[in-house]
Amino acid sequence: MTLDEKITLLAAKNVWETPEIDRLGIPSLKVTDGPNGARGGDFFDGTTAACFPACVSLAATFDRRLCRQVGKALGQEAVTKGAYVLLGPTVFCHRSPLGVRNFEAFSEDPFLSGTLASEYVKGLQGERVAATVKHFLANEQDTRRFSVNEIVSERALREIYLKPFEMVAKDAHPWAFMSSYPKINGRHVDAQSKFLIDILRNEWGYDGLVMSDWGAASTVESVKYGLDLVMPGPARQRTPEAVHKALREGLIDTSDIDSRVLATLKLLKQTGKLDDRKDTPKEQAIDRPEHRALIRKAGAEGIVLLKNENNILPIDVAKTKKIALLGPLAKYAAAHGGDSASLNCHYKVSPHDAFTARLGEQMEITHAKGAHIFREYPDMEAGCINSRGNPGFLAEYFMASTTPRGEPYHAERFPRGRFTTLMDTAVVGCQTVRFTLTYSPPVSGKHYLSFSGLGPSKLYIDDVLVAEQRDSIKDAMGFFLGAQEEIRIQHTFVSEEDYSIAMETHPSPYSNSELYLMEGQCSIHLGFIAQAEMEHDVLAEAVALAKEADLVILFVGNTTQWETEGQDLTSMTLPADGSQDGLIATVAAANPNTIVVNTTGVPVELPWLDDVPALVQAWYAGQETGNAILDVLLGENTPPGGKLPMSWPRKYDHTGCHGHFGLDSYASREVEYVEGVFVGYRWFDALWRSERQVLFPFGFGLSYSQFDVGGASIAGSLSSNNHAGPSVSVKARVKNVGARPGSETVQVYLEPPVVQGLGRPVKGLVGFAKVELQTSEEKSIEVRFGRDGAAYWDEEGRNWKVGEGTYKVLIATSSGPEDVKARLEIHVENGFSFGP
């Protein structure tokens, strides 16, 4: 290869593809989002795809085999999109309940995260599709993630934030890693050798490719520091001119370039692109029955039963004649979170869909929304026809800098009132976009419109200017991800009349997102709500139906408008403005038989918990979410067996990072990880007897049955010779002593001896085993762990250390002290250290 050909391979050619070199027969390689479904090349409204449960939902299953099956299916899905690299899994640890992408990652616990992510990767790569483990490193917050400097102790990095990546790298051998945006202790990940070279490659022995998050490459010197591939393209830092200049100045060496290029060539080989997968096939939508079944099973097994007074669940169908399905998420299929995790699903089943399809002939089912939770108005869609006679809008792109003149150089159809040039490879250098439609209102009214653009924008109705945004939007990334302030107006429309609606927008003149990818981009959003819908008393309607029902099921939570990357949540309260909390309290007062199903990726405050007999946490369970929820509520096929993969605080200000996370510190570009290694249950263990104790502990989840855990025993030892693998075996027997089938997850925690001045957490998870049991059935379980579970990072010695003394081994069904079933001991005679 010539030097210039090598330089070509240092960056992608477009949003999703690496460059090809025809002279040498080197093909392009396509990548695709994301962690819960293979979206394909179009960010919005692309080829349909299967949507699997979010990683937090998978973590709640505590099921290794299920995670591997999901990874395998995701590999098959990626192939249908012509992509042989999937951008997932996300394995950062949940630091705060306000983390807007927590749903995309597994857990607050590094061991659980690393274990399940490893299985996911193995399943995926079994299909010859590369996993991309992300985001390496410290991408726990999204607020100002492009510029924030995170101050993290070496011990916290090693014990909490690096640990799941280390486990995946050593156990699953992923073919790709993705670097992150933030600075860590003053420097970006790709601007130093510490993370990508010293730790990832030299200490852990990783020999795969490292790509950047989109726009996360900081300097041309990242070639030296281990960043193999910059995404997306075309090249910005790694232009031929910049790379040649860096070579002349001695900032990088040709051997650095060779190392980066070899990693890309190796990935091409691993994924088959150098042999039987040379071509990139057209994207396909293949809806496999076996994927449907897997999604439904995985979604149901992740659902967590948090409260069930008087055994109100499972639903007694024989005694229930009328059910009221209430809440803003009753007819909303919460399949996935927003942005990188979003996709155009083959289909989505809402709870209302599932109930009416399965129980509609057996009982009366009523519905009311009960509350509005709009962050922005829904995309305008119904009654819209573009100038070519097709449903939706027409976007025309012009090079003129002030007004759209002459013929557009490009045009695209959009099905609803939203478009963006970001991630659109067909649009280059536009200066003005005109977005038009003819609107024929189904009903008359003074309807509600919301309008905003990435850059200066105007909205016309019948050639009359009705709204103007004179400046660029304050937060470009927030706009792109659906979380921005909009101009809101009302306009009178008469049914059976046609209205010409046009919008004009220009690129933002500066990057108001702190990300260069947003520079020069155009975007528009037009939202719409009918007057009758907006002004209807939805709360009164819900209360009236609740009073008439035998059973009320309230579906509340977040939507993709609220949990979407770019800006962390502002509080632990349900959106919006107390409407959902008020709905629950009012409905529960009207009907004491009220079950709440919460669909979020994070814990939320529950001020009404004492007023309802049952609470179910449903997460984002994929395209079969409605069926999965109903399966658990009925208890026929899948009784509840999920366990919380994070601690559930009572309030946000009870957490260790309060005041030092996300929007707490928005005015600053620096965040300190003040809680150190005391993340999640490690923090709450120290507060257990205080008023700030956790509401639901990590690992907690109820069942419709009861289980007895006994016969615990331990064998083996911990020593410096345990480097080959787990050396301690813990065994126990689990028996179903209830009246229904079910599953139980036995968790093993290690409690180290107290060492004055060291400040170790009370305990840490070192293993778990999940068993399914019929009534009266008993099974034996075994959990094995080794020296890694007992070690802490010695900052002075820069190595791992296991101290001498007696370690307590706790066999439990959650991290809470009341769920400990047995206590064993293991003694370390002489402390020892071992290398990283």
- Three-state SS string over 598-645 comes to EECCCCCCCCCHHHCCEEEECCCCCCCHHHHHHHHHHCCCCCCCCCCC
Distance CA 614, CA 303 (A): 13
The answer to whether the CB of 141 falls within 8 A of the CB of 661 is yes
Residue appearing with tokens 């919005």: 44
Distance CA 177, CA 196 (A): 10
Distance CA 396, CA 410 (A): 6
For residue 472, the one-letter residue type is: S
The answer to whether the CB of 342 falls within 8 A of the CB of 35 is no
Which tokens in the block code for residue 623? 């395209």
- From the list 416, 398, 394, the residue with the least C-alpha distance to 407 is 398
CB atoms within 10 A of CB 813: 21
- From the list 556, 632, 626, 559, the residue with the least C-alpha distance to 597 is 556
Residue 389 main-chain phi, psi, to 5 deg: 85, 10
Distance in Å from the first CA to the final CA of the chain: 37
Distance CA 413, CA 411 (A): 7
Which helix (H) or strand (E) element contains residue 531? helix 531-535
Report the relative pairing of strands 130-136 and 176-179 from DSSP bridges.
parallel
Distance CA 29, CA 18 (A): 5
Distance CA 580, CA 571 (A): 14
Distance CA 344, CA 46 (A): 6
Which tokens in the block code for residue 592? 């004491």
Q: Where are the alpha helices (DSSP H) in 386-522?
A: 476-480
The answer to whether the CB of 538 falls within 8 A of the CB of 579 is no
Cβ burial of 312 (10 Å; 0-12, 13-18, 19+) is: middle
User: Which residues does residue 768 pair with via DSSP β-bridges, in sequence order?
Assistant: 747
Q: Compute CA 300 distance to the chain's CA centroid, rounded to the nearest angstrom.
A: 18
Distance CA 258, CA 167 (A): 28
Residue 808 main-chain phi, psi, to 5 deg: -95, 135
CB atoms within 10 A of CB 444: 15
DSSP, res 510: S
**Active-site residue flag, 213:** yes
Which helix (H) or strand (E) element contains residue 268? helix 254-270
Which tokens in the block code for residue 52? 């699997």
Kindly name the residue from 63, 109, 213, 664 that is annotated as catalytic.
213
For residue 646, the one-letter residue type is: M
Cis previous bond, 658, omega within 30? no
User: How do the residues of the chain divide into helix, strand and coil, expressed in percent and rounded to 5?
Assistant: 25, 25, 50
- From the list 66, 103, 141, the residue with the least C-alpha distance to 601 is 103
User: Which residues does residue 162 pair with via DSSP β-bridges, in sequence order?
Assistant: none
For residue 830, the one-letter residue type is: N
Residues with catalytic function: 213
